[in-house]
Structure 1
C-alpha cells in the first residue's frame, strides 16, 4: 500500500472560486430580496420588542428600497410580506388612538401604491433603478447619433439640441456621418411628430435607422429610403420632416434636400448676407414614391450654413417666414467674426421653450 502524496490528492477549488459559484447559484435579484426580507424581519422584531419607542413607519424603509431595487416579479410578494409584518406590529401596539390609526391607513395606502406601480412596471420587465438606467442609455444613444465625426482643420461643424420643457428627450435629432473612404460629410436634421418624451421613443428608433441609411446610401437615395422606412412603420403619427446636407469637404460643393422642412440658410462671406435654399419635398411617411428636389451650391472659405428645425423659427403668434428673418438677423449679430459656440448661442436666443429646437452650424474657415 503506497502513501498518497499531496500531488496525488485531487485539487480543491480555491475559496474565491467557491464564493463565485455560490453567487452564481443565487442570482443578484434573489440576494437583494433576501437582504430586504432580513431587514424587514429585523425592523419588525425591534417594533415588537419596543412598541412604544420604535415607530411602525420604519417599515417603509425596506418598502421604499424594494420599490427601487426589486423586479416586477418579486416586488408584489415583497409588498405583501411587508403588509403582514405591519399587521404583526399593529397587534403589538399598546393602544390604537386616532393618530396611530391614521398612520396605519397611510402605511397601507403606500403599500397599495407600490403594489400598483409593480403591476405597471411588469410591462417593462425591469426594476425601477434599472429602468431609469435604460432610459438614460436611450437618451445618450440619441445624443451620440448627433455627434460630429472628426473633420479636416478647415471646417467647423457644431450642433445644439434643446427639448420642450428642458427634458432630456426630444423629437428633434441630428445624425452626422462621414462614410469610410469618403470625403463627403452627410448631415440630416429631423423633426419627429410630437414633442419631448412623446416623440423621444420614435426619435430613438429613427436616429438609429437614419444613421444606417445615411452611411450606406448615395445622397440622392437617402430621403426616398427614409420615407419608405417610415411608411413601413405604420405609426398613427408616423411622420417627420427632415433636411439633408451632403457636403464635399475638399471642394466645398454641397447638395441640400428637404422633406417638408424649413429651408437651409447660407452665409455668403463676400457680401455678409444670409440667403435661404428652398428645396422642395413632401413630409416623410405620408406619400409613397415621393420625390425630393436638390439645391446645389458651394461653401467657400468664410461661408457658413445653418440647418434647423421649426422650433427655432415658428411660434403660434408668428409666421414661419418672419421667424426665419428673425433668426437670420440674430445670426448676423451673434456670429459676427466668431462661429465658435455659435450653435448654442443661437438655440438659446431663439425659438419657443415649449417646442423642441435643433440647429447645426457649418462653417468653412
Structure 2
C-alpha cells in the first residue's frame, strides 16, 4: 500500500486489552531471559516425551513452534542454548523411534535450517538492541511520526490545502516529506516540502531525522532564514549522502501575500484566476541543502487572490528518464487545468497518481488554494 501523508493512523481500542498486555511482556522477558530459556527447554523435553509416547498422533512440527518462539524473544547467546537442547532432543527421540516415526531426517534438516534463520534474525535485532516484535513497533511509530509532521493545520474558511505523498514502489517510508505550521497569531501559514537524497526506505531514516529538525525550525526562524538554517543543519550532520532539495512558502492568510524560496527544488506553479493561466514561479532559486556553506537563498514574492491556487511538488512528479522536464511540467499543468472549473480538491492526489516517474520514485504534492 502506498504511503499517504494526509492519513495518520489511529490505534484501535483493542490495543488496550490483550494485545497491549502481550506487547508489555516483551520488556519483561528481556529482563528475565533465563526463565524463557528454561521454559523452552522443558517444553522441548515434554514434546520429545509426547512424540515418543504417541508417535502416530504428535507431529514433529511441535518443535518448529518452539524454535520460532525462541527466535522472537531471545538474544543469540541464549537462543543457541535452547536450540542445542531442542535439536538434541529431536535427535535422541528420532533415533529411539527409528522407523516408527517417519520423515525424521527431513524434519531435522528443516528444523536446523529454521534455527539458523532465526539466529540470523535475532542477531540483526540484537545489533539495534531490541527483542521480539518491539523493533517492528518502533518502525511503525517512526512512520506515524513522520506522517504526523506533514499534517496541515486548520485554515480559515476561505482557504484550503491538501497534501499527497506516495513512496517509491509502495514502501512505508519515503524520501519526500512535508512539514507545516501556522503562526501563533494565526495569520501566517508556512509549508516546506523536502526531498531527501535517495528514495523509498533507503531515505526513510534520513527523512525522519530531518523532518523533526525542520519541523522545529518552522515558525521559529524568519521566512528568509528558514532555508539558511536548514542548510547549516545538514552541513553539521555531514551525511555521506546528506543533500536535500526543498521548497518553502510562507503565506499571509489575511492578505494572500506569500514569499517562496527554493533549495535546488523544482519551481512551484501558481494559477491566477484573473488571467485563467498557470505560471511557474522561477524566482528565489538557491543551491541544494547541505552542499555549500553560507549559501544564499533569495525569495520570490507574490499574491494569492480569490480563485488562485499554488502547487508545490517533488521531482518525481515531473521527471522521467525518457522525457524532458518541460514535458513533465506540461503534463502536470495539463492535468491541473482540468480542476480549474470544478475546484482544486483532489488535485494533489491526482498529480501523485499520474506522476511522470510512475511508482519508481517518491512523489509529493501540496496544493493550496483560496476560495
Is TM (by shorter chain) over 0.5?
yes
Superposition deviation, residue 28 in structure 1:
4.0
1:270 and 2:274 are equivalent in the alignment: yes
The 1-side partners of 2:175 and 2:97 are apart by 55
What is the match of residue 353 of structure 1?
359
* Contact 1:334 1:346 survives alignment (8 Å): no
The 2-side partners of 1:126 and 1:101 are apart by 34
The 2-side partners of 1:345 and 1:216 are apart by 33
SS of 2:258's partner is: strand
Superposition deviation, residue 99 in structure 1:
4.0
Question: Structure 1 37/99 Cα, relative in aligned 2: closer, same or farther at 3 Å?
Answer: closer
Superposition deviation, residue 53 in structure 1:
3.5
Q: Residue deviations 1:110-132, cap 9 Å, x none? A: 11111122122211111241111
The 1-side partners of 2:76 and 2:178 are apart by 35
What is the match of residue 16 of structure 1?
none
* Contact 1:335 1:342 survives alignment (8 Å): no
Give the TM-score normalised by the residue count of structure 2.
0.86
1:314 and 2:315 are equivalent in the alignment: no
* Contact 2:56 2:101 survives alignment (8 Å): no
SS of 1:261's partner is: coil
Question: Structure 1 77/255 Cα, relative in aligned 2: closer, same or farther at 3 Å?
Answer: farther
What is the match of residue 20 of structure 1?
none
Counterpart pick for 2:92 among 88, 91, 94: 88
Question: Structure 1 72/362 Cα, relative in aligned 2: closer, same or farther at 3 Å?
Answer: farther
What is the match of residue 199 of structure 2?
195
Count the aligned residue pairs. 342
* Contact 1:347 1:358 survives alignment (8 Å): yes
Q: Residue deviations 1:289-326, cap 9 Å, x none? A: 00012110000011000000000000111111221111
Give the TM-score normalised by the residue count of structure 1.
0.87
* Contact 1:339 1:363 survives alignment (8 Å): yes
| Structure with larger Rg | 1
Counterpart pick for 1:185 among 154, 165, 189: 189
* Contact 1:71 1:126 survives alignment (8 Å): no
Which consecutive residues of structure 1, in runs of 5 or more, have no partner in the other structure? 1-22
Q: Residue deviations 1:117-155, cap 9 Å, x none? A: 212221111124111111111111111100001111111
The 2-side partners of 1:297 and 1:125 are apart by 51
Counterpart pick for 2:210 among 206, 226, 231: 206
Question: Structure 1 35/355 Cα, relative in aligned 2: closer, same or farther at 3 Å?
Answer: same
Which consecutive residues of structure 2, in runs of 5 or more, have no partner in the other structure? 1-23
The 2-side partners of 1:200 and 1:225 are apart by 21
What is the match of residue 4 of structure 1?
none
Superposition deviation, residue 221 in structure 1:
0.5
The answer to which of 68-77 and 168-177 deviates more is 68-77
* Contact 2:195 2:314 survives alignment (8 Å): yes
